[in-house]
Amino acid sequence: MTILQRITTEYIETEDRVRLSGASPAGEAVSLWITQRLMARLLKVILNWTAEGEDAQQALKNAFAQQAARADVRLQPPVQAQNSPVLVNTIDISHTAEALTLVFRGTEGVAGQLTLQRQDVRQWLNILHDTWRRAEWPQDLWPDWMARPQAEPASVTQITLH
């Protein structure tokens, strides 16, 4: 089993799947295929764990936390995909108040383990949301607070008061 420290998430159109390419601190690498169906199940669990309530005030707090996570992303070189990705058929999920651990399993057993702190989970959610949109998969499972803030229309007049 590879303990993953860094991951690169990308949608591969020809496969119609998400590929996670992960690297361990020792330099071991693994690539994982995750289907839309399995990703949707994973997202439901992650969104429930991440969300801090469902009323309007909490939705605003969640939206703010997602925007802060997006702004805090540090760009790094992508993890290189491996030639023989593992098709993930099960993801074991465990969590504490501040961390989420995912164990990815294929037909031959555990392929990798990833532990993310709460802020890292929020950053990954943003990446997953962007990836999901690129894939043109149905958006109905995403809560409103995950929506990326829209820029003001160009036709809106800006008024400055002094």
DSSP letters, 82-126, are PSS-EE--EEEEEE-SSEEEEEEEETTEEEEEEEEEHHHHHHHHH
Q: Is 154 exposed, middle or buried (0-12, 13-18, 19+ CB in 10 A)?
A: exposed
**Tens of pLDDT, residues 59-84:** 667 666 767 666 776 777 888 888 88
pLDDT of residue 157: 39
Q: What is the pLDDT of residue 136?
A: 96
Of 3, 91, 88, which Cα lies nearest the Cα of 45? 91
Q: How far apart are alpha carbons 134 and 55 in whole angstroms?
A: 29
Residue 159 has pLDDT above 50, yes or no: no
Domain membership of residue 151 (yes or no) is: no
Which residue range(s) make up the domain with 91? Answer: 3-146
pLDDT in tens, 30-50: 999 999 999 999 999 999 888
Residue 43 lies in a domain: yes
Query: Distance between CA atoms of 94 and 82, rounded to whole angstroms?
Result: 26
pTM assigned to the model? 0.79
Find the helix or strand (DSSP H, E) in which 7 lies: strand 6-12
Could you tell me if residue 86 is inside a domain?
A: yes
Q: Is residue 159 assigned to a domain?
A: no
60: phi then psi, degrees, rounded to nearest 5:
-65, -40
Cα gap 120→95, rounded to integer Å: 13
Residue 36 domain-assigned?
yes
Specify the number of domains making up the chain. 1
Percentage of the chain with pLDDT > 70?
Answer: 78
Position 21 pLDDT exceeds 80: yes
Cβ atoms within 10 Å of 113's Cβ, excluding its own: 17
Specify if 117 maps to a domain: yes
